[in-house]
Structure formats: C-alpha cells, structure tokens
Structure 1
Amino acid sequence: MSYKVEEVNGCTKKFIFSFDNLDLSEQIKVALKEKQKSVNIKGFRKGKAPLAMVEKLYRPQVESDALNSFVQKEFFAAVDKENVRVVGYPSFQNVDYKDGESVSFDALVETFPEIELKDYSKLSFSKDKVEVTDQDVEDVKKNYLAPRAEMKELEDEKAKLAKGHHAVFNFEGEKEDGEKPENMKGEEYLLEIGSGQFIPGFEDGMIGMTKGEKKTLELTFPDSYHVEELKDAKVKFHVELLEIKEQVLPEFTDELAKEMGFESIADFQEKTKANLTQQKERQSQEKLNQEILEKLIEENSFEVPQAMVAQQENFLKQDLANNLKAQGFTEEMLSEYFSKWTEDLTTKATFQVKSGLILDFLAKKYEVEATDADFDAKIEESAKLSGLSAEQVKEFYGKDEKMKGNLMYAIREEKTFEKLAADLKIK
C-alpha cells in the first residue's frame, strides 16, 4: 500500500495514494465476463453475446467500476490501518489512471476531532435554588379544575376588564389604506385577557374597558408575523366589548381529588409539591448543564466536522418544521422562515455537536455507561411525573428502539454531568 496522510485541519485528513505498475486488466476481464451473463444485445440471446462485443460496448463502464472499487477498497483499508474515525463519506479527487501502468488519487475525509480539555477544576458556577411555594401548588390545582369551571358574566355593569377576565367582543381591523380584510374581523369572540393570543398591545389595550364600550386600538404587527403582507403593518382595530366574564372554579373537595386520581386533598398537595420540586430541580440542573457546556466550549476551541453539523441542522429543521406546520405554516412560509433563521440554526447545530463531542470525551474519561438498572430507574421516575404506570412507560420505550436509544444516551449524559460536577466549583 502506497499512501501518505496529511492533516488539513483538526477534523479533516487527506489521504494521498500512488500506485505504480498497477494493472487492473484481470479485474476488468472478470467484470466483463460477469457483465456478459446479464446483458441483452440485439441478435443474441441473453448471456450469449461474444465477449469481444460486450467489451466493445461496456469496457469504459466496467473499467470505471473496477477503478472505483479499487479506489474505495484501498481507501478503507488505509483508514483501518491508521485507526481513523471517519465522519460521513470521503471526497475522491485528482484520480489519474493510466491503463495497465499506474493510478493515483486523493481522498479528503472528515474525522472525529481529538479533544483535550483544559483544566476545568477551577471553573465556578451557581445553581438556582429550588423552591416550591403554596402559590405554585395552587396554580396546578387551578389547572386541574379549569375544565370543570363555569364561565359567568360579571354582574357589576361598571366593572373594568382586567387580566384574567374573559372578554366577549366584536372587532374589525383596518389597514392604513382603509381596507378592512375579512380575516381581520370577529364577532362575539371570546378571549382570555393576558393569554397572549392576539398581537402585542391588543389585549393590553382592552384592559380597563367596560361593558358596551367601544375603542380603537392603533397597533403594529410584529416583523415576525406569519402573514407576509402584515409584517410591520400599521393597523387600527375597532373593538366593542360585549361582556366581561370570569372563570368560576368548583370547590376542591376530597371527592373531586379522588376523581382526579388522588386519595384526598392532602394527597394531591403532597404529590403535587413533590412533582413540582422534581420538575424545578430538573430545570435548575438543565440550566446549570447548559452554562457548563457554554463555558467549556468557550475555554476549549476545536473544529467540528461539517458533516455532523449539517446532519444536526437537518434534524433541527425537521423538528421545527413539524411544530410550525402544526401551527398552520405552509411550505412557502416555512421556506421564508428557514431562509431568515438559517444562521441561527447553524449556530445552534454547531453548539450541539460540540457539546456532544465534549460529553462523549468526558464520559470516556469518567468511564460512564448507561446500564439496564439506570434505564429501569428512569422509567420509574418518568412514571411518577406522567401519572402512568411503570409498565406503561416501559412498554412505550420498548416499542421503539430509537426512543430507547435516545433515553439511554440521555442517561449517559446525566451521569457524566454528575461526575463532572464533582470536579467543578458549584454554589
């Protein structure tokens, strides 16, 4: 084997091959005989055409196939010998083949970068304190009771609309040129004030109105609005408030708690506080983990394979596209959206690739692996948070190997962060 390896950058290598006295005639002859068995040539039965005629018609193709096969075989043999971790597929360049004499070619390939982290033992971080208040538990209770709530109109005719109230109103939008599009009108529309369903300024502008009052709101659509012609458009909304309603929740009793899957009010409060504590602890930990990764990436500069970044970017785009389609985005709107935010997606994908490589390096350093016992423990934890049984959660992951693989990867990362935290200064 005749080759040499050049470092292009931290994650790209060039293999330079040169073979003298190379004769592929035997491989070409064998390939032609195989081709002879399958070709249909006018005037001959399948597989019975003379070899000379097959060679005349197909030699360039067969010769090209034989050369490609040789090139790939030599490249991957070199990769194995050099113990190179390849990312993606190589780019073959400068292929020069002289029939019966020699062949030379270059193979440019991306590789996993060799990562060495600087001493991180002196890095310090602060973790958010986790606290669950009575109001937090009360908010969860309201969410449970909301589907059973009654909507009642306020009896006080002079009552002013406030956040949390539900307004029943008519509205009509008017563009700067005086046009009043049908898609900017509504009658007896029900809206929770403060929910953020309308464009910025609309709901705030209605606050303080009384029943029967009419008002004109002068607003500007945001530049990120999904309808192209309304981006940054100035508009007047003529609003008439018909009713002010409030949500009246039922009394929370032990019987109602049982209907919701709890033993009593006390059981609801105890379990809700425990779940909220666990959720906030996870959020606090995820925030800390993000800050740690950002610092490690800032402190340790290294290049990453563009093939990995492109793959991660495609994953992010697909995931985001699915979410936006669920919100009513068309293909045209998606194309415009991604055109505008491509740079942000690339930046995010690059960060995620770097984070994954650093965590993989640390997992190997700390000899961390995700075990079946870890998997079972995570299933139990998920079951408690979701309200499902452990068997149901386990069955869910058992149906999809990819989902289970992602969970095992997340467990490995979680255990890696635990090991890493012991070597950092965390307040």
Structure 2
Amino acid sequence: MAYKVENVNGCTKKFVFTFDNLDLTEQIKVALKQKQKTVNIKGFRKGKAPVAMVEKLYRPQVESDALNNFLQKELFEAVNKEDVRMVGYPALENVKYDQGKSVSFDAVVEVFPTVELKDYSKLSFKKDSVEVKEEEVENVKKNYLAPKAEMKEVADAKAKLAKGQFAVFNFEGEKADGEKPENMKGEEYLLEIGSGQFIPGFEDGMIGLKKGDKKTIELTFPADYHVADLKEAQVKFHVELLEIKERSYPEFNDEMAKELGFESVADFQTKTKENLTKQKERQVEEKLNQEILEKLIEENSFEVPKAMVVQQENYLKQDLSNNLKSQGFSEDMLGEYFSKWASDLTTKAIFQVKSGLILDTLAKKYNIEATDADLDVKIEESAKLTGLQPEQVKEFYMKDEKMKSNLMYAIREEKTFKKLAEDVKIK
C-alpha cells in the first residue's frame, strides 16, 4: 500500500502518499493526446500537429498534467478503497516530485462525521397548546373583505387615534444636530397604525392623538437600520395629525361568502378555523422540533466539515440577499450587512448542518425514507392550505427536480421527528 491514513479530527482525514518508483508513461500519453486536440501550431490545423512536436513544445506542461492526473487517480482510488464519504474537494499538500522517479504528497479530506447520540429517552419537552380565537377568525374575514372596503374619515372630532386605524399626517424628522433631512419629511402621509411600517415606537407614539393635534416623538433608530448614518441615531419627529380614517367593510353575508369562494358564512367560519388550527399546530410542531434539536446539539458534541458549513452559509446568504433586495437594499448595503452579521450567519449555518446530520442519523436508525405515497399526502395537505388544486401543487414540485428533492427531504425529516417524539418525554 502506497499510502497511510491519519485521523486529524472527527471530520477530517489525511492521506499520506509515497511512491518511490514512479512511471508516468501512460499518464503522459493521455495528457499528450488531450493537449494535441487543443493546441494551435503553425503549419498544422488545430488538433493535427504530430504528438512528438506537441511533446517537444509542451513537455513541462504535459508532464505537470500527467502528474496531476496521477495524483487525483491515486487519491480517489484510496478514498473508495477506504470507503470514505468525502465532503467537498481534497486539499493537496507537501507535494514532492523527483522528475520521473518518485513523488510524495498529502491529501487532506473532509468527511461526513459519524454522529453517535447519547441516550435521549429521558429528555423532557413541553408542547404548547393550540387555540383559535374568534378575533383571529375576524381578522381573516377582514383580510378577505379589505379589497372591497371603503376608507372613511372618522367624523367625531374628539376621536382618538387607535391601533388598526389610519392616520393622515404631516411629519418632519430632526437629527440631534438640528439637521432636518428631506428624506425624513412627509405630507398627507397615510399610515396604518400597528402595521410596523415606521421604526419601532413611532406608531405607538401617535396613538391617542386627535385630529389637529401636534406632537414631537423622540426615538432612536435601530442599530441594524439600512441607512448607515441613521443607525442608532437619536431623532425627533414633529408630527401633525390631519385626519383619522378607518376601513368600512361591506356586510359579510352568505352571498358575500359565496363571492369569496365559500358556500356560506358558516362554511367560512368552519374552514377558517380548520386552517388556522392547522397553521398553529404546524407552528407548535416547528417550535417543539427546534427545541428538541437545540437540546440534542447541546447534549452531543461533534465537529462538522467546513465545506458543509460554507455551503450552508452561501444558501443562507442567497436567501437573505433576495429578501433584503426586495426591501430596497443596494449591493453596498448588503456588503455592510453581511460584514456585520457574518458570525451570526456562521453560527446559524453550523446549527443547521449539525441538525441535518443528527436527523439523518436518526432517520437511518428508524429506517425512515420518504415514499411517493408520502409525497401525495403532502401535496394534498398543501393544496388544502393554499386553496389550489392538488394537480397544480404537484405540477409545481414535479417541474423542478431540486424542488421535489427538497420536499422529499422535508418529508423524511418530518417523519423522523414524529418517530423521535415517541422516544422522548413531551408534556
């Protein structure tokens, strides 16, 4: 055997290769033929120059390619022989080549770690209860009726602005140094109180104002605000309330319910409660699953490959970039944001990688796989929640192999959590 394997840590191995008698004849022949196809030599058409001439002109490069092919071949044969599950690309180090005679090199390879979980049967968790309030059903109804609602001014001059109402107002921001930037001014601005459109504290500061009232609201901008010179800035907002408005909704009767896709008001009530219950149950399950994973990671220490962490960080960055761009972030703002929160992204990526490895270990322990039957059930569930036809949902996932693969992976995780829940204590 021309190599030995050293364990660097739980997810890294080093292959140490030594070849005292090196013959690259076959590799050089292959490299020459490859080079012959691509070179342009005066007097010959591309790819038609004699092999001897190609070797004479490009011998050092050809030999380098041959050596590289040899190293790669030996490494991957060794990896297969040792049955190593490699992650990412190997790093070649300490290459020592005595031309045509011998070569030695090291290959550092990251591998999938073996996760051995401690006994988790005594771990205890609390699962939140699920309750749907009439207020939540009413909010859903208002969302359905919103496009048909009229915006009307509140006639009572003594009425005080409340959450859920709309303020029509003028405002002007003043920085600590007295500057009043143009981008901090607005006239006859319409704002729903409680919508969270303005920075924290602004909308709360307007509650209780009456038509014609003026007020100065003193606030501090968030540390992560997207405008650099306003981060943690202390600002006074001078506001004048011009009008109080609120939505006037049409009557919600059986006829209106049918127009919105339901059989009746009673049908709306029943289906809305069912959907809200399912949504809350899913949220409760997600919260419980997160707590279980956090505890398992806390209880079981193991290293993870850097390549997997970097890949997960890239996924997170891409997803976050898309969201921030939709909010108006420029490339410079994105760069500043990711620079500031880099460590948080890394921490989140490590957690997600460890979670995936733990769930994979448990799925194998429980012999769990996602089947086509599971997929059909999940598609039916998604169709009911979204209001789409099952055929539409299925087409959405089937047209993209990656989308389908991600869904199957999620199904496998979901089944794993259900089995795991039987083996831990849940109150």
Cα distance in 2 between the residues matched to 1:281 and 1:392: 25
- The offset of 1:175, in angstroms, is 2.1
Q: Which residue does 1:400 correspond to in 2?
A: 400
Q: AA paired with 2:305?
A: P
Aligned residue type for 1:100 = G
- Report the RMSD for the aligned CA atoms in angstroms: 1.6
Instruction: Give the aligned partner of residue 369 of structure 1.
Output: 369
Residue 30 to residue 252, structure 1, CA distance change in 2 (3 Å): closer
In structure 1, the residue corresponding to 2:320 is in which secondary structure? helix
Question: How far is the alpha carbon of 1:42 from its aligned partner?
Answer: 3.3
Separation in structure 1 between the aligned mates of residue 201 and residue 36 of structure 2, nearest angstrom:
77
Deviation at 1:160, TM superposition (A): 1.5
Structure 1 residue identity aligned to 2:387: G
Which residue number in structure 2 is paired with residue 246 of structure 1?
Answer: 246
Separation (CA, whole Å) in 2 of partners of 1:321 and 1:50: 53
User: 1:399: Cα distance to partner?
Assistant: 1.3
Report the equivalent of 1:186: 186
CA distance in 1, matches of 2:103, 2:116: 38
* Structure 1 residue ranges (4+ consecutive) displaced by more than 6 angstroms after TM superposition: none
Q: Output the amino acid matched with 1:150.
A: E
Q: Map 1:28-427 to 2 at 5 A.
A: 28-29=28-29, 31-32=31-32, 35-36=35-36, 38-42=38-42, 53-427=53-427
Secondary structure of the corresponding residue to residue 119 of structure 1: coil
Shift of 1:25: 3.4
- Contact 2:92–2:105 at 8 Å: present in 1 too? yes
Against the structure 1 CA distance between its residues 155 and 406, is the aligned structure 2 distance closer, same or farther, given a 3 Å change threshold? same
Give how far 1:48 is off: 6.4
Q: 1:75 to 1:243 in 2, by over 3 A?
A: same
- C-alpha deviations, 1:133-188, integer Å up to 9, x for none? 22222221122122222211111111111222211111112223332222111111
SS, match of residue 152 in structure 1: strand
TM-fit CA distance, 1:247: 1.7
Residues 297 and 354, structure 1, Cα contact 8 Å, conserved in 2: yes
| Residues 215 and 239 in structure 2, CA contact (< 8 A), matched pair in contact too | yes
Which shifted more, 193-202 or 366-375? 193-202
Checking the alignment, whether the CA contact within 8 Å between 1:86 and 1:109 is kept in structure 2 is yes
Q: State the alpha-carbon separation in 1 of the partners of residues 228 and 47 from structure 2.
A: 62
Equivalent-residue separation in structure 2 for 1:395 and 1:46 (angstroms): 48
User: Counterparts of 2:81 and 2:324 in 1: how far apart (Å)?
Assistant: 47
Q: CA deviation at 1:45?
A: 5.8
* 2-structure distance, mates of 1:236, 1:32: 74
> What SS does the corresponding residue of 1:172 show, helix, strand or coil?
strand
Distance 1:374 1:366 in 2: 16
Kept after mapping to 2: 8 A contact 1:199/1:221: yes
2: CA distance, partners of 1:273 / 1:57: 79
Q: 1:206 to 1:90 in 2, by over 3 A?
A: same
Q: For 1:422, give the aligned amino acid.
A: E
CA contact (8 A) 2:27 2:67 kept: no
TM-score by length of structure 1 reads 0.96
CA distance in 1, matches of 2:370, 2:45: 60
Secondary structure in structure 2 of the residue aligned to 1:42: coil
SS at match of 1:312: helix
Q: 1:50: how far off?
A: 6.0
Equivalent residue letter for 2:252: F
TM-score by length of 2: 0.96
Q: Which moved more, 1:358-367 or 1:185-194?
A: 185-194
SS class of match (2:341): helix
Equivalents in 1 of 2:119, 2:329: separation in Å? 47
Aligned with 1:346: secondary structure? helix
Cα distance 1:180–1:122, how it changes in 2: closer, same or farther (>3 A)?
A: same
Task: Label 1:161 to 1:82 Cα distance change in 2 as closer, same or farther (>3 A).
Answer: same
**Aligned equivalents of 1:139, 1:294: Cα separation in 2:** 34
Tell me the amino acid that sits aligned with residue 237 of structure 1.
F
Is the 8 Å Cα contact of residues 23 and 99 (structure 1) preserved in structure 2?
no
Distance change >3 Å, CA 30–CA 329, structure 1 → 2: closer
Describe the superposition over 1:252-305 as per-residue Cα deviations: whole angstroms up to 9, x where unpaired: 100010011100011011111111111111111111100110011111000000
Give the whole-Å Cα distance in 2 for the aligned partners of 1:219 and 1:27: 71
**Alpha-carbon distance between aligned partners in 1 of 2:336 and 2:418, rounded to the nearest angstrom:** 41
CA distance in 2, matches of 1:421, 1:49: 69
SS in 1 for 2:116: coil
Q: Which amino acid aligns with 1:305?
A: P
Q: Structure 2: how far apart are the matches of 1:70 and 1:259?
A: 72
Match of 1:145, SS? helix
Structure 1: distance between partners of 2:47 and 2:275: 73
> 2:166·2:245 contact (CA, 8 Å) conserved in 1?
yes
Kept in 1: contact 2:14–2:107 (CA 8 A):
yes
Q: Report how far residue 40 of structure 1 moved.
A: 2.9
The alignment covers a number of residue pairs equal to 427
